[in-house]
């Protein structure tokens, strides 16, 4: 029964966010100090790290616990409850209460409250990521689902995670804790927009709040970098999806939420619609004209959850994150984990976690082979939510915090494991070079010359996972159907570098950096890169991808993750207007490209491929102004001992074959000559 209910929820999990988009078009891990009860790490140094596999603390334990917690109640719902806020605005909520079985009579007793804040309409959007889970209510929780300001039946102006919305969340926590039938403790639940709101609310509540735990699903750390752009190139699907989807939902849901008062519904619809001018319309114009919000700025920084993670920790709010390896927020979900763990340890939320760093099970992440529309579809997410909230809101020892490796991975092939740090200390980055003959192999090239040409195409139609990822999963079947066609292969103007056939499984686990050195005949370049697995029968499966606009190539070294000397596992680009600079025509230029993190094992017998392209239609949009600067572009990608190009791969086990006909490392004299020539070029 539980699995059927969860399956129903998951099918509806991202219906409204996805429709918004469619409107546009075994690691080893050392043990850690686990301290679920304290916001500060213990002072004692941790023990040396043993080299043994860490089993995943997952679903199995939570499911076993859930079997001891059958449903006890029915549900009674109080609709459209008005809530007067600090400035006189009226928000509206539905309250879902446990009821005596077989009746609509509220059950006696006091219960924890689960608060859901949605922009999709508390009844229209009461599905999927915006759903008030009946599973929890039937097991002794009060559920409150509220229309955030400027949406549904609530007054005010939509802020898209602005400061006012965070303060509203904190006020709603206090209101929920004071409800009749509340035991005074509150948890937050939901995904996507609702997950982001959870983080901001947890940061705004202050210390000693009734808010004890949150459960953000499919949540960004930085909406600008995770969703709106890729390497400075606007994500067309998501930006137009925001314009069309959020505007439409916000404008028309008042008629569903305020059916009892048509005049008020009309008033709210007009007010919500007018909010499209400062939000969606402005964002769309900026994307097309290459101005304003197309660059990072205070507007986006105010809306980046990573900036407030230290406050979440200071407020003593526990968080269980759920993310997907094909989610639109694939980049950001592990960064939320590392940021929370770093904040707990008194370190920068922007830094990579250190080898041997102590961790706490107060902050956990479960990531699996899921897109935005099927989060948690291969695990019992209901059971995990129950175990998490029973622990933090009811004081029950559910076993959910009994882990020293709080980062839980389920791979596409079904293997699961847990690690401690991100990046994983058990998956050190290995440099894999681009070699002459379009080979991908460890060791520097020995030849002092060698390059491949990439030709710019403004439209690049191919069958890639981006179809699924950026449509929030709605085109999943389309991708599976086109995988066996020629559209998966490199197109004219593309370049593909392949490894030799793998002689053993290669497990990748963490962020991937790509450094390309190239010359261009034009002042604007566009690189779209995809890591792929090539099966023995030639089937091509995308693993992950990344992109970079040439003029946005500047690096912020204080937020970039350095490996292997001059390599970057996670390059951080400022993406401000001031940081942009044109590409110097026909000059050697270095491009550091962030490929979104990978948690996947490439089987023996397969080959690993790096595909270099110049477009990804309809995912990425080159604005008209940038398009003019890119036309007729030809880039010569270097793959030689003088100007190396390489991947930084997080390899937990296995290895890639050496380049055919070449030693594993370059001759010292050749390397010295290459360095000399490089310094003169």
- Could you tell me the CATH number of the domain that includes residue 335? 3.40.50.1820
Return d(Cα 309, Cα 340) in angstroms, integer.
6
Is residue 296 domain-resident?
no
Q: What is the DSSP string of 283-350?
A: HHHHHHHT-GGGS--HHHHTT-GGGGHHHHHHTT-EEEEEEETTSTTTTHHHHHHHHHHHHHTTS-TT
pLDDT at 618: 84
Residues 534 and 625 in one domain: yes
Distance CA 544, CA 547 (A): 11
Q: Which residues pair with 409 in a beta bridge?
A: 367, 417
Location of structure tokens 């894999």? 432
CATH code for the domain in which residue 460 is found: 2.60.120.260
Question: Quick one: pLDDT at residue 516?
Answer: 98
Does a structural domain hold residue 48?
A: no
Mean pLDDT by 10 residues, the chain (681 residues): 47 44 32 37 32 44 92 96 96 97 96 96 62 91 96 91 94 98 97 96 97 97 95 83 78 92 95 88 86 94 97 98 96 98 98 97 97 92 96 96 95 94 97 97 96 93 87 87 86 96 98 98 97 96 96 97 98 97 97 98 98 91 82 97 98 95 43 41 38
Whether 149 maps to a domain, the answer reads yes
Residues 480 and 535 in one domain: yes
- Contact (CB, 8 A) for 612 and 529: yes
**Helix, coil or strand: residue 80:** strand
- Kindly state whether residues 455 and 509 are assigned to the same domain: yes
> Considering 419, 447, 462, which residue would you say is the last residue of a domain?
419
Residue 291 lies in a domain: no
* 412/447 same-domain check: no
Domain match, 218 and 311 both: yes
CB 595 within 8 A of CB 545: yes
Tell me the pairing of strands 111-118 and 182-191. parallel
566 in a structural domain? yes
Name the phi and psi angles at 277, rounded to 5: -70, -50
Judgement on whether residues 360 and 460 belong to the same structural domain of the protein: no
Are 556 and 666 a contacting pair, CB within 8 Å? no
Decide: helix, strand or coil at residue 375: coil
pLDDT of residue 58: 55
The residue segments making up the domain with residue 535 are 429-653
Q: Are residues 390 and 458 in the same domain?
A: no
88 and 63 within one domain: yes
CB 249 within 8 A of CB 120: yes
Quote the pTM value: 0.90
Helix 247-257 to helix 15-22 angle (10° resolution) is: 130
Q: Which position has the token pair 């209101």?
A: 175
CA 625 vs. chain centroid, Å, equals 29
Measured CA to CA, the distance from residue 177 to residue 186 in angstroms comes to 6
Q: Which of 419, 439, 455 is at the close of a domain? A: 419
When divided into structural domains, the chain yields a total of 2
- Give the domain-ending residue among 394, 419, 444: 419
* β-bridge mates for residue 621, sequence order: 234
Q: Are residues 457 and 308 part of one domain?
A: no
Give the pLDDT confidence score for residue 450 in this predicted structure: 96
- The three-state DSSP-derived secondary structure of 89-131 is CEEEEEEEEEECCCCCCECCCCEEEEEEEECCCCCCCCCHHHC
10/21 Cα distance (integer angstroms): 18
Examine the domain organization and report whether 539 and 647 are in the same domain: yes
pLDDT tens sequence across 438-474: 999 999 999 999 999 999 998 888 888 888 888 888 8
- Do residues 452 and 412 share a domain? no
Cα first-last separation, the chain:
68
Based on the domain organization, do 447 and 415 belong to the same domain?
no
Is 476 domain-assigned?
yes
Cα angle 121-325-64, degrees, rounded to a multiple of 5:
80
CA contacts within 13 A on the Cβ side of 209: 30
Residue 444 half-sphere exposure, CB side, CA atoms within 13 Å? 18
């Amino acid at each position: 029964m539980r699995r059927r209910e969860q399956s129903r929820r998951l099918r509806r999990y991202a219906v409204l966010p996805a429709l918004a988009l469619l409107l546009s078009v075994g690691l080893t891990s050392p043990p850690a100090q686990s301290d679920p009860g304290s916001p500060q790490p213990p002072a004692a140094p941790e023990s040396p790290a043993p080299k043994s596999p860490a089993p995943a603390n997952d679903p199995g334990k939570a499911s076993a616990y859930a079997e001891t917690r059958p449903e006890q109640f029915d549900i009674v719902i109080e609709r459209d409850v008005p809530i007067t806020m600090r400035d006189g605005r009226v928000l509206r909520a539905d309250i879902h209460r446990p009821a005596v079985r077989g009746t609509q009579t509220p059950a006696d007793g006091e219960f924890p409250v689960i608060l859901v804040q949605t922009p999709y309409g508390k009844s229209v959007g009461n599905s999927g990521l915006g759903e008030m889970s009946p599973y929890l209510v039937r097991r002794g929780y009060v559920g409150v689902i509220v229309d955030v300001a400027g949406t549904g039946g609530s007054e005010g102006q939509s802020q898209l995670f602005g400061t006012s919305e965070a303060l509203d969340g904190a006020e709603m926590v206090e209101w929920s804790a004071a409800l009749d039938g509340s035991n005074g403790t509150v948890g937050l639940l939901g995904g996507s927009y609702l997950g982001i709101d959870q983080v901001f609310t947890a940061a705004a509540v202050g210390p000693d709040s009734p808010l004890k735990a949150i459960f953000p699903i499919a949540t960004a750390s930085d909406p600008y970098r995770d969703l709106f752009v890729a390497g400075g190139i606007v994500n067309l699907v998501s930006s137009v999806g925001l314009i069309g989807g959020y505007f439409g939902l916000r404008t028309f849901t008042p008629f569903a939420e305020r059916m009892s008062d048509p005049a008020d519904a009309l008033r709210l619809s007009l007010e919500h619609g007018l909010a499209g001018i400062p939000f969606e319309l402005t964002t769309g114009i900026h994307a097309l004209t290459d101005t304003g919000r197309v660059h990072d700025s205070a507007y986006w920084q105010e809306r980046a959850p990573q900036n407030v993670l230290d406050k979440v920790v200071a407020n003593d709010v526990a968080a269980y994150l759920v993310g997907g390896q094909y989610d639109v927020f694939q980049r950001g979900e592990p960064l939320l984990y590392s940021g929370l763990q770093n904040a707990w340890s008194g370190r920068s939320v922007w830094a990579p976690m250190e080898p041997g760093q102590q961790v706490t099970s107060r902050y956990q992440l479960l990531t699996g082979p899921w897109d935005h529309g099927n989060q948690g579809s291969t695990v019992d997410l209901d059971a995990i939510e129950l175990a998490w909230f029973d622990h933090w809101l009811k004081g029950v020892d559910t076993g959910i915090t009994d882990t020293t490796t709080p980062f839980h991975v389920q791979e596409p092939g079904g293997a699961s494991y847990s690690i401690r740090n991100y990046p994983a200390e058990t998956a050190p980055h290995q440099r894999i070079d681009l070699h002459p003959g379009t080979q991908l192999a460890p060791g520097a090239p020995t030849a002092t010359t060698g390059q491949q040409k990439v030709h710019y195409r403004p439209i690049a139609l191919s069958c890639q996972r981006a179809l699924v990822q950026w449509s929030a999963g709605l085109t999943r079947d389309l991708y599976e159907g086109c995988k066996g066609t020629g559209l998966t292969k490199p197109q004219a103007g593309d370049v593909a570098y392949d490894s030799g056939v793998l002689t053993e499984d290669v497990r990748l686990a963490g962020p991937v950096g790509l450094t390309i050195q190239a010359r261009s005949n034009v002042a604007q370049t566009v690189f779209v890169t995809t890591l792929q697995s090539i099966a023995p029968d030639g089937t091509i499966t995308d693993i992950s991808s990344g992109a970079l606009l040439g003029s946005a190539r500047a690096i912020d070294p204080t937020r970039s993750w350095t490996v292997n000397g001059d390599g970057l596992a996670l390059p951080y680009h400022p993406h401000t207007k001031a940081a942009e600079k044109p590409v110097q025509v026909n000059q050697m230029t270095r491009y550091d490209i962030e490929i979104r993190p990978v948690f996947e094992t490439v089987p023996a017998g397969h080959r690993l491929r790096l595909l270099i392209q110049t477009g990804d239609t309809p995912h990425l949009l080159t604005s008209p102004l940038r398009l003019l600067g890119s036309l007729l572009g030809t880039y010569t990608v270097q793959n030689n001992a003088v100007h190396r190009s390489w991947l930084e791969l997080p390899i937990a086990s296995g290895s890639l074959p050496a380049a055919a006909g070449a030693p594993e490392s370059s001759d010292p004299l050749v390397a010295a000559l290459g360095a000399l020539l490089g310094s003169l070029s």
